[in-house]
Amino acid sequence: MDATAAAGKVTREHLQRDAYLYIRQSTLKQVINNTESTQRQYALRSRAIALGWDHSQIIVIDTDQGQSGASTEGRDGFQRLVAEVGMGHAGIVLGLEVSRLARNNTDWHRLLEICALTGTLILDEDGLYDPGNFNDRLLLGLKGTMSEAELHLLKARLRGGVLSKARRGELVQPLPVGLVYDHAERVVLDPDASVQQAIRHLLVTFAATGSAYAVVKAFADAGLKFPRRLRTGPNKGELTWGILQHHRVLQILHNPRYAGAFCYGRHSHRRGPGGKTATRVLPRDQWTVLITDAHPGYLTWAEFEANQARLAELAAAHGTDSGAQFRVGGQAVSR
């Protein structure tokens, strides 16, 4: 689009409102390493000035750095942009490309609709568009569809690589307490003897009693603590000791990694209407990968299978599935 045609779309009413420049990178790694993209996004200010906006009218929204464009969740900057456009404060919205503004077609078309209603222009690196114009709206819609398709292809490629490593048993995953990676990224028993002893004591106690509740009681009666490695926060990776709880016993008994097995795809994840993710443990025949004797463990596969059978018997006797749990918003919920 030539400069004359572009300038012809800009009216005095547009210039009386502000120009909003939206800047985003998908990950913090991109923010740090892909500085060229960030510079190109900031450089769009000169395009707005060339179209007639004063430098003081250009409002930069760059609070969504390191946020994915797959949805509006966690993107306060994008939500602010939509609100400003909806209130008629924006004469033009600037973004390097559609994928910077939104990867989700629903979010993109929502923005287009609001821009059309308020008479707000959209500018990207390729040109200037009026969402109220049918041809411009059609082109912007196609760009949004292509952006969402590109995201799908990127995810498919990444998942393909993950699955390939998983099928070979080489995928690096977070390990439960008692197992660690050595310098060669091989899974080994935790070198801390006290950690090993706590896990072995739990398994031996369950083998003797056949009850997860009995294990909890045995630890409590003896005043024993159980280890846990912090997964998040400033002390991530550190070992802490606390009271053994029933759900922790079940997690350990149901986890095949303690039997030296590599597994992938044990859980299904579903995003709910409120944005929280519900995670469900799948039946074994639905797991994506299961490789027994893949690394050292604390019990044999036969012992693990015997434990599963015992837990199933207990669940049937009590009319509940002790092993089936959902995780909602990070919290375990027994079913």
Residues with active-site annotation: 26
- Measured distance CA(149)–CA(320) in Å, rounded: 43
Residue 287's contacts (CB-CB under 8 Å, 6 or more residues apart) are 263, 264, 265, 266
User: Nearest-CA neighbor of 62 among 50, 80, 36?
Assistant: 80
User: Nearest-CA neighbor of 68 among 60, 78, 59?
Assistant: 78
Rounded (5°) CA angle 116-122-128: 120
- DSSP lists the bridge partners of residue 121 as 92
Pairing of strands 262-264, 128-129: unpaired
User: Nearest-CA neighbor of 102 among 126, 75, 140, 71?
Assistant: 71
Tokens, residue 66: 């390191």
Tokens, residue 317: 């006797």
The DSSP element (H or E) to which 285 belongs, if any, is none
Tokens, residue 202: 């739990």
- Measured distance CA(243)–CA(239) in Å, rounded: 14
The DSSP element (H or E) to which 328 belongs, if any, is strand 325-328
